[in-house]
Amino acid sequence: MSDAKSAAVLTRRLLIGGLLGGAALAAAPALANAPGQSLRPRPRGGLTPAAAPAAAAQPASAGALIEQARLGGQVSYVVLDARSGEVLEARGESLALPPASVAKAVTALFALERLGGGYRFATRVLATGPVSGGRVQGDLILAGGGDPTLDTDRLADLAQALKARGIRGITGRFLLQDNALPGLSRIDAGQPLHVGYNPAISGLNLNFNRVHMEWKRASKGWQIAMDARGARHNPAVRIARAAIAERQSPIFTFEERDGTERWTLASAALGKGGSRWLPVRRPAAYAGEVFQTLCAAQGITLPNPRQGGAQGSVLAETLSPPLTSLLRDMLRHSTNLTAEVVGLTASGQTSLRASAAMMNAWVRERHGVDLALVDHSGLGGDSRVSAASMARLMLRNPQLTEILRPYQTPAKAPADRAPVLAKTGTLNFVSGLAGHVQTRRPLAFAIFSADTPRRDALRGDERERPRGGPEWTTRARNLQGLLLERWAAVYGG
């Protein structure tokens, strides 16, 4: 999930509320019709493309499609024969551009090799003493294992498990153990403060480290609710609060004061009502408060949580899905928190850059290609990857097709000819796509487009919905679809 990707078309009413979790851009009409015939692709970048099969009418040349897209900046791509590795067509394939969320495919490979497809993240409730008379004789510990999928409903299951054991309270402290991963306040410091796709990272995560805010008109002023929304449970929270400010802009302000995360919203942007998810900067404290509330609903009294940890016996446990399933969902929904958590867990490093550097070294040693990633999600705009490197990585790892999502091009082609399994990537004025085309002659490919000067010129809240950004992204995606259509027709057999 990325900055431009969350910029859904906004009405006044949805100026805030329409950005829940990063809505995808709606596909615009395809580019103008390309000429029915074109020359065979020319050699580019020192590579000799294979001759295309003779045909009465071929799709437009790649150069013509790129010119029609009017993206500015740089466009690079390469398409390979997935059986032989032969370069069929390429342009600027050695150019290093931001990969955006295409980087998550690399993270998936790294995590699968280091952790194994059956790996599960565990969240446990521990006790430092025995249970006697319905009370834990000692401390109760909510011990996180870094699970990026932990949600309110699964926390509620833990509370119900304690009730089933006859527990009604504790004699000691209620502790939060979150040291399974380094505590980071956000993934990328260059993103706006209020976007939910740039959350904090912790060894104890909840609801992708986001809190749900809802506002509606009341008889006098506004009614605002902050909660940890799940499918079955909806506990209110105190750690995050919001207030309406009479102003036009900025839409949001944020500060941490007295242990509370405080937001204000500009009254001019509210319409009649709405909702959205906001990031939480202290995930462990958030999870602790919610668990305390859920336990209270089961008749279990806990003191206010505090940071800490100790050895103890396991009273209850909840497990994430197996890593293979978790990664499949990560690639489908492009969840940044999942990517960073599995990457950090696989590397054991204490910072995103150090962890990404270890992954880069692993890719170089294991697969013989060079990457320059600065995180595991692709959210950081400083990451750089060439189309040649990413396509080679796809070529050498056909097992990725088992977890990559089916990709439907904006123009709905070439789906009728052959399935495309790929990972998308979107940042402001950055678009990437890499994967496999399952034609009779299987293809591996990577496409990157970026106008980095235009992206680098953005400041502050401009990054959520920059002028011209959604239109640029639509044109980039249409170009990707037309290139795929061309390659399926010319090289797919």
Average pLDDT, the chain: 87
> What b-and-e string marks burial along 342-366, b requiring 16 or more CB atoms within 10 Å of the CB?
bbbbbbebeebeebbbbbbebbeee
Q: Which residue has the tokens 């040649």?
A: 388
**Pairwise CA distance, residues 196 & 212, whole Å:** 10
Band (pLDDT 50/70/90 cuts) for residue 272 is confident
* pLDDT, tens only, 12-70: 333 333 322 232 323 332 322 222 222 233 333 333 444 444 444 667 999 999 999 99
Sign of the torsion formed by the C-alpha atoms of 197, 261, 271 and 231? positive
Higher pLDDT pick, 412 / 225: 225
Half-sphere exposure of 225 (CA within 13 A, CB side): 13
Q: How far is CA 235 from CA 21, 26, 211, in A?
A: 20, 33, 11
- Specify which of 128-137, 183-192, 453-462 reaches the highest per-range mean pLDDT: 128-137
Task: Give the pair of three-digit tokens for residue 171.
Answer: 């004699």
**pLDDT over 70 (residue 308):** yes
Band (pLDDT 50/70/90 cuts) for residue 268 is confident
Quick check: 292 and 304 in contact, CB under 8 A?
A: yes
The pLDDT value recorded for residue 417 is 56
The pLDDT value recorded for residue 57 is 61
* pLDDT, tens only, 94-115: 999 999 999 999 999 999 999 9
**Pairwise CA distance, residues 178 & 202, whole Å:** 6
The pLDDT value recorded for residue 418 is 72
Higher pLDDT pick, 414 / 9: 414
**pLDDT over 70 (residue 7):** no
* pLDDT, tens only, 186-219: 999 988 889 999 999 999 999 999 999 999 988 8
Q: Single out the residue of 389, 483, 485, 486 nearest to residue 75, CA to CA.
A: 483
The pLDDT value recorded for residue 310 is 87
* pLDDT, tens only, 355-377: 999 999 999 999 999 999 999 99
Provide mean pLDDT across the span 462-479: 91
Share of the chain above pLDDT 90, in %: 76
Spans of all domains in the chain = 64-118+322-492, 212-270
Fold of 64-118+322-492: Beta-lactamase (3.40.710)
The pLDDT value recorded for residue 50 is 46
Higher pLDDT pick, 460 / 183: 183
The pLDDT value recorded for residue 222 is 86
State the pTM of this model: 0.87
* pLDDT, tens only, 384-439: 999 999 999 999 999 999 999 998 876 554 444 578 999 999 999 999 999 999 99
**pLDDT over 70 (residue 11):** no
Task: Give the pair of three-digit tokens for residue 216.
Answer: 């509606």
The pLDDT value recorded for residue 31 is 27
The pLDDT value recorded for residue 465 is 83
Half-sphere exposure of 484 (CA within 13 A, CB side): 35
The pLDDT value recorded for residue 410 is 65
